[in-house]
Chain A
Amino acid sequence: MSQMLAVKTENLGRVYQIKRKRGESGPTTLVALEGVNLEVRQGELFGLLGPNGAGKTTLIKILTTLLTPTSGRAFVDGIDVVENPQEVRRRINMVSGGETCGYGLLTVEENLWMFTQFYGLDFKTARERIQYMLEVVGLADRAKTKVYHLSTGMKQKMNFARGFLNDPQILFLDEPTLGLDVQTSRILRDFVKRWVRERPGKTILLTTHYMVEADELCDRVAIIDQGRILACDTPANLKKRLQGASVFKLQTTPLDTLEHFKQLPGVTQFAGHRRNGHTELNFILEDENALVKVLDAVQAKGGHLLSLEKREPTLEDVFIHLVGRGLSDEESPPERIL
């Protein structure tokens, strides 16, 4: 395979076996990934965008050698993750958002030092990198604080810092800003962008279900749902797929049923949900004329229009266009059941 690829998967699949008690009915397998073909170039900041349960974390687990695929192959920096996992580990690190690491009894810098030792870093290098990363995540003044005194957000920041300490060739960021406040998320996103730009050849594979994050950070994005890659391109090119279509977001008073909106003439795709006491409707229309039918339908259902916004297509619209529902919609099953 080409040396220019940081990650490559060939027909990658993962099926989980489900243990059932005697007499318990139901499926015995879960498909988490199916026929995934992906190529991530060296130096790329590549995004995997999909709803919860789409298979993003399963893919990361396979690429970081925590899980073996049930079919297909995966390569990291040209190395087969199943045949030579130890070589893969020398080149990678991983940060999972919402996770913490280490031991509460140790201070922030002691915890980070412990993890550097698993990568064989000498004392001086480890210390320099720890100090640098603590500055980046804004924890420099907490270096001597015991971890159990930190807030959850601070622990997450420490975990984020840990991921960069071994200066990995390929870094896997699994929902890195999950649960963090807006300002911290922005700081971390800026750093991620800078890290890749300033270090030629370094690659980041980022999974997220925040479309803004994928749009803002990634050179290319793969949209994944129910274990399958549905599209893969630059954010701009993905959005171009909706060129000519009209994208509208409506807020109305609460509506009981939303199903009928899909059947309206001129509606290409539709996703809607209730939020904070109102109903939010996202439409991709063939043209603006179809909007009249939509507004009629809202009125017919007894709803009142609260706001109407015509906007440029976003990655979420691309997702809606491809899947027929929004990234945050609950009806998405975690995995397909065979």
Chain B
Amino acid sequence: MKNFQRELAVFVRTVIGRAYPRLIGLQRERSWLFFEIFLPLLGTAAFVYIYRALGAKPEFTGFVVLGGAMTAYWMNVLWSMATQFYWEKETGNLALYLIAPTSRMAILLGMALGGMISTTVRALAVLILGSLVFRVTFTVSDWGSLGLVFFLTLVALYGMGMMFASAFLLYGREAWHMANLLQEPVFLLSGFYFPIKSLGFWISAVASLIPITLGLDAMRQILYPQAGWGFLDVRIETLTLAILSVVFLIAAHRMLLWLENIARREGRLTVRGQ
């Protein structure tokens, strides 16, 4: 029991300790105000004007603004979660994390939690600014469902990021290229700027493996129930997100152990410039 309490205390402290640099970064690195709010708004604006030029219904503007806000999470997961261990290895921090008597999952969780909180501030800024600039109104039909979907989307998404992060224990630049490769296709497949239903059932079904796809679709259905562009029923999407959350977290844990052992055996944990 004492051992469990001690382990738990180390786990919680690790999560807080590793989340701290991300949270403090919000205050100290103000350049994000421009790069992570203004620039995504430009991309969002382009799609808003396309929809307006085509005479699409006003809810499509809302779809786009919501997608623009959620883009921040995807970018955070891809570049600040998945690839983070690459940087940690290059700077020498990874070795120090790994010789500490703490859970690696706690370190990843700390990174994820810090990332989630700081990204939420950015996403909210995009959402609020976008809504004001483009006069978007949201009608929340069910706050509970919206909160649950949003929460599950983030858990599943960051679980996926944690899984990718494990790969960087073993691989260096190869994994980096993979992250690069993932960026744009996921923008398309997740339907950041359009309803995923328009891709057809089978492509949408495959794209649903990316948690943000179903998360966005469900949130759009909750915010615009009258639009009629939902891919699946919100309850099915919520359940799928819950399953994805569990699957990705377990997979991340397993992969972390497995790849760490391989990396230790092959001497790749501390090799730099890989």
Q: How far is the CA of A118 from the CA of B269 in the complex (A)?
A: 18
Q: Taking chain B's interface residues, is the majority helix, strand, or loop, or is none over half, making it mixed?
A: helix
Give the interface of A toward B (CB within 8 A).
14, 16-17, 61, 64-68, 86, 89-90, 92-94, 96, 99-103, 105-106, 110, 113-121, 146, 162
State the interface size on chain B (CB cutoff 8 A).
32
State whether B13 touches A105 (Cβ < 8 A). Answer: no
28 A-B residue pairs with CB within 8 Å: A17-B266, A65-B98, A65-B99, A66-B95, A67-B269, A67-B270, A68-B265, A94-B96, A96-B92, A100-B91, A101-B93, A105-B28, A110-B21, A110-B24, A114-B17, A114-B21, A115-B17, A115-B96, A115-B100, A117-B17, A118-B13, A118-B97, A118-B100, A119-B102, A120-B6, A120-B14, A120-B101, A162-B96
User: Distance in Å from the Cβ of A160 to the closest Cβ of chain B?
Assistant: 13
**B233 CB contacts on chain A under 8 angstroms:** none
Q: How far is the CA of A14 from the CA of B267 in the complex (A)?
A: 10
Closest to B93 in A: A101
**A162 CB contacts on chain B under 8 angstroms:** 96
**A101 CB contacts on chain B under 8 angstroms:** 91-93, 96
User: Distance in Å from the Cβ of A16 to the closest Cβ of chain B?
Assistant: 6
State whether A68 touches B20 (Cβ < 8 A). Answer: no
| Max chain A C-beta neighbours (<10 A), residue from B18, B99, B265 | B99
State whether A120 touches B99 (Cβ < 8 A). Answer: no
Give how many A-B residue pairs fall within 8 Å (CB-CB).
94
User: Distance in Å from the Cβ of A100 to the closest Cβ of chain B?
Assistant: 7
User: Distance in Å from the Cβ of B171 to the closest Cβ of chain A?
Assistant: 13
Q: How far is the CA of A87 from the CA of B123 in the complex (A)?
A: 42
When A67-B269, A101-B93, A119-B10 are in contact, do A90 and B101 touch as well, CB less than 8 Å?
Answer: yes
> B135 near A: Cβ within 8 Å?
no
Q: How far is the CA of A284 from the CA of B65 in the complex (A)?
A: 80
Within 8 A of A (CB), among B83-135: 91-93, 95-102, 107
When A66-B95, A101-B93 are in contact, do A106 and B100 touch as well, CB less than 8 Å?
Answer: no
State whether B99 touches A94 (Cβ < 8 A). Answer: yes
State whether B266 touches A118 (Cβ < 8 A). Answer: no
State whether B21 touches A105 (Cβ < 8 A). Answer: yes
**B20 CB contacts on chain A under 8 angstroms:** 106, 110, 113-114
